[in-house]
């Protein structure tokens, strides 16, 4: 599975802790991330992560393009809902594309836990069929 990771600044440490906790599961999949998130997670876990630009420099848009091309199977996007951001339209675009292409997405750690356990059980294997 191709898993994309991104997190707002206030949620980057939470993403790192999540990836440390689930490093064993994540290591069996192809990971990509926006630049800063990818660096932090890779440094903390040793996971091999394809890094795009930082979110503010277009990394979110690079992930969005991969979603639009059906090259992402799962998006973990830890959002800071208290942050009013000039990037909010990029956030909405990512979520809209996930809806359009039936990409499971977690915007918080609770949903990420459900999805990662489902991934481990094989509940997301249907994504492989969709790509055929």
Q: Say what angle helices 12-21 and 35-45 make with each other, to 10 degrees.
A: 40
Q: Which of 9, 43, 60, 125 is catalytic?
A: 60
**3-state SS assignment for residue 32:** strand
Q: Tell me whether residue 60 is one of the annotated catalytic residues.
A: yes
Contact indicator for 10, 80 with CB cutoff of 8 Å: yes
CB atoms within 10 A of CB 72: 26
Task: Concatenate the DSSP letters of all residues of 61-125 into one string.
Answer: HHHHHHHHTT--SEEEEE--TT---TTHHHHHHHHHHHHHTT--EESSHHHHHHHHHHHHHTTTT
Q: Please list the residues that pair with 86 across neighbouring strands.
A: none
* Residues identified as active-site: 60
């Amino acid at each position: 599975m191709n898993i994309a990771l991104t997190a707002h600044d206030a949620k980057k440490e939470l993403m790192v802790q999540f990836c440390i906790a689930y490093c064993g599961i994540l290591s069996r999949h192809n990971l990509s991330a926006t630049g800063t998130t990818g660096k932090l997670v890779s440094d903390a876990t040793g996971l091999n992560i394809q890094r795009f630009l930082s979110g503010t420099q277009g990394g979110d848009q690079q992930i969005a393009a991969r979603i639009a091309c059906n090259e992402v199977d799962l998006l973990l996007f830890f959002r800071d809902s208290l942050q009013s951001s000039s990037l909010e339209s990029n956030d909405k675009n990512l979520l809209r594309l996930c809806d359009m292409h039936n990409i499971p997405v977690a915007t918080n750690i609770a949903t990420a836990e459900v999805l990662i356990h489902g991934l481990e059980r094989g509940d997301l294997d249907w994504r492989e069929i969709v790509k055929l």
